[in-house]
Structures are given as structure tokens and as C-alpha cells.
């Protein structure tokens, strides 16, 4: 069975990765359409499938489509997803527009694909949540988890390709002793880090940090799990990292936890201290699997606490790959 697919907002960094994932996961595509803003429309892109002309959306654009992969931001998802549904198009959305709607599943296929059922809109989780839970879930299923503390080190690929471009340009200017401009970041990101991502909430956490709490509760169906996150922007291009500390119900067995993670097909246990091989943005970039290392008992709480370090490609596992895996699961069912 071949399907017709629409990728919405094909000027973001994620859409290029979506097409790569569609190709790598052998999604049977009959027609692939790309939609962009009016300013970007009518540009021609060479893809792994065929040359595609970016189109401006209109009333007829949804005809004869089966699925739409949205990476268009909150406003566009809210505006166009219901229109797509009226044309019997199933939407897989990368924005936060539908993540917290009780009637719309929030899905990581390896964890809760069975929550999709007959949904017409499926939400993709935030990248920080997706990767944390990919690493945590094998432990969660056996040891149960009471508390989780996450510190993130997030790349500039979080939203727009121009964020990565600003890092590259300001790095060049920094090394050349030239004046730098910060157009998309609050401060210069070159050789710096910014402990502020998204808007601050009433509890002094940012929205990016609270997303990890809200989405973990929904994906694991466990609102009793206590989650705290600190999110920091760092000067890397496309790979995020996280330090994760969890409290378990059962006494931890570190060797068993290492085995649980190494047995997970989406996890690479990179644990070679002798040769100084460990997860890093440089090694995790352009990989489908996440990298995990430094699995150890926490020195403060000890027997019921374990901590570890994770790196992964934000554009892939944190966005495009998860969306295409949802699509592949739906096609298979």
C-alpha cells in the first residue's frame, strides 16, 4: 500500500530529517507534498524521492492525502490540523498545540503506541521529554520510579535552522574578534550557555522545563511521579544531552540496569571509561539511537537512586524520527 503524505512548513530544519527518515524507514510513498510559507513557496527542492516544488496551502491542497506531518509551530497546527481532519487526513504534529489535550494521544511509539487507537491527530512530545523517557522507560518498567530530576544541555537546533546559523556566524566572529549580534537568542550563544529556554511560569520554572513534567505524566499515565527539570541552552548544533537522576521503588542493581538499557534496541550503551568513549553531541549527532553512559548509584541517596548521562540527535530522535515512527506504526496497523 502506497500513501500520500504532506509535510507542513518545509523551511524548518526538521523537514529535511523527516524526508530522510521516510526514506530510511521505507515508508511506501505514492506522493509527497511540501508546504511552506507564501514567501518560500515555489522553490524547488531535490529530495531522496524526487524533486518537489514547495506549495502554498489552499483549499484543494488536502485532497487525496492520507497523512500530514506537521512541523509548523503552534499557530499553524491549530489552524490547519482541523482542516486536514475534515478531509480525512491524519495529522502527526510536532508542535505543542495538542500535547496537553486529554483527547489527543501524546506518543513515543516504543513506549505507548497503543494509546493511538483511531486518533485523527497524534502529538509528538517535546524533544527533552522524548529522550529522557527513551532512556528511563526500560528502568521504569522493572524498578518503578517515584522521582526524576533532569538537567538538560540543549543544542541550537531546537526550533529554527537560523538558530544554528547564528551560532556558526557568531563563533566565526568571536574567533575573528569581530562584533557579534544576537538576533534569535537573548544573548550571544557562541562560547556561552543560557539557562533560560521558553517563557517563565508562575513557579519560576520555564515552560520548556514544565513540559518534561506534564508530558511524562501523560505518556506514562502516572501523575504521582515527581519530575523536576532545569533546561540550559549550549553552543552545539543539533545534539542535546541530559543528566538524569531517578528514585526507584526497588533497590537498584546497576549491572541489571546496564543490561536493561543495552537490551533496548533504541539505546547504545556507550560505557568505556578506559578508552574515554562516552556520549557527546559530536558522537550522538546524525544517529537514530540515543547514547547512555555513567550509570551509577547516586552518592547522596544511594540504594534507591540511580543517575546517568544521555546524548541524542534532537532533530532526529527528538523530532523527525519519532513522528515518522508514529506514521510507520499507524500504517502497520
Q: Which range has the worst mean pLDDT, 44-58, 192-206, 260-274?
A: 44-58
pLDDT at 1: 58
Cα–Cα dist 35/75, whole Å: 15
Q: Is 21 a catalytic residue?
A: no
What percent of the residues of the chain are helix, what percent strand, and what percent coil, each to the nearest 5?
35, 25, 40
Q: Is 196 a catalytic residue?
A: no
Residues of the chain with CATH 3.30.360.10: 129-314
Record: fold of 3-125+319-332: Rossmann fold (3.40.50)
pLDDT tens digits, 122-173 = 999 999 999 999 999 999 999 999 999 999 999 998 656 778 889 999 999 9
User: Mean pLDDT, the chain, as a whole number?
Assistant: 90
DSSP state letter for 267: E
The continuous run of DSSP H or E covering 91 comes out as strand 90-93
The mean per-residue pLDDT over the stretch 28-43 comes to: 75
Domain boundaries 129-314, corresponding CATH code? 3.30.360.10
pLDDT bucket at 32, cuts 50 / 70 / 90? confident
pLDDT at 41: 61
Residues of the chain with CATH 3.40.50.720: 3-125+319-332
Q: By CB neighbour count within 10 A (0-12 exposed, 13-18 middle, 19+ buried), where does 124 fall?
A: buried
pLDDT at 192 over 90: yes
- Give bridge partners of residue 122 from the DSSP assignment: 92
Answer left, alpha or beta for residue 143, where phi above 0 means left and psi between -120 and 50 means alpha.
alpha
Higher pLDDT, 65 or 167: 167
Of 127, 196, 217, 229, catalytic = 127
Amino acid at each position: 500500500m502506497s500513501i500520500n503524505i504532506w509535510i507542513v512548513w518545509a523551511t524548518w530544519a526538521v523537514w529535511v530529517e523527516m524526508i530522510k527518515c521516510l526514506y530510511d524507514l521505507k515508508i511506501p510513498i505514492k506522493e509527497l507534498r511540501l508546504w511552506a510559507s507564501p514567501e518560500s513557496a515555489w522553490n524547488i527542492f531535490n529530495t531522496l524521492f524526487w524533486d518537489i516544488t514547495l506549495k502554498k496551502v489552499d483549499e484543494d491542497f488536502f485532497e487525496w492525502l492520507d497523512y500530514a506531518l506537521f512541523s509548523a509551530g503552534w499557530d499553524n497546527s491549530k489552524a490547519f490540523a482541523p482542516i486536514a481532519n475534515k478531509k480525512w487526513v491524519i495529522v502527526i504534529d510536532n508542535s505543542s498545540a495538542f500535547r496537553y489535550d486529554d483527547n489527543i494521544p501524546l506518543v513515543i511509539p516504543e513506549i505507548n503506541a497503543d494509546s493511538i487507537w483511531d486518533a485523527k491527530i497524534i502529538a509528538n512530545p517535546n524533544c527533552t521529554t522524548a529522550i529522557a523517557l527513551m532512556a528511563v522507560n526500560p528502568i521504569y518498567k522493572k524498578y518503578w520510579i517515584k522521582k526524576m530530576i533532569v538537567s538538560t544541555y540543549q543544542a541550537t537546533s531546537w526550533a529554527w535552522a537560523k538558530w544554528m546559523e547564528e551560532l556558526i556566524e557568531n563563533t566565526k566572529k568571536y574567533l575573528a574578534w569581530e562584533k557579534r549580534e544576537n538576533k534569535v537568542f537573548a544573548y550571544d550563544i557562541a562560547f556561552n550557555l543560557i539557562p533560560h529556554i521558553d517563557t517563565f511560569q508562575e513557579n519560576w520554572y520555564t515552560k520548556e522545563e514544565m513540559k518534561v513534567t506534564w508530558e511524562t505524566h501523560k505518556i506514562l499515565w502516572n501523575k504521582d511521579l515527581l519530575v523536576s527539570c532545569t533546561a540550559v541552552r549550549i553552543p552545539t548544533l543539533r545534539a542535546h544531552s541530559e543528566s538524569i537522576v531517578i528514585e526507584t521503588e526497588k533497590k537498584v542493581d546497576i549491572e541489571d540496569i546496564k543490561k536493561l538499557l543495552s537490551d533496548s534496541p533504541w539505546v547504545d550503551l556507550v560505557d568505556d571509561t578506559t578508552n574515554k568513549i562516552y556520549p557527546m553531541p559530536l558522537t550522538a549527532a546524525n544517529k537514530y539511537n540515543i547514547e547512555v553512559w555513567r550509570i551509577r548509584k547516586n552518592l547522596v541517596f544511594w540504594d534507591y537512586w540511580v543517575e546517568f548521562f544521555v546524548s541524542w540527535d534532537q532533530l532526529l530522535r527528538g523530532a523527525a524520527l519519532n513522528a515518522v515512527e508514529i506514521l510507520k506504526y499507524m500504517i502497520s496497523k
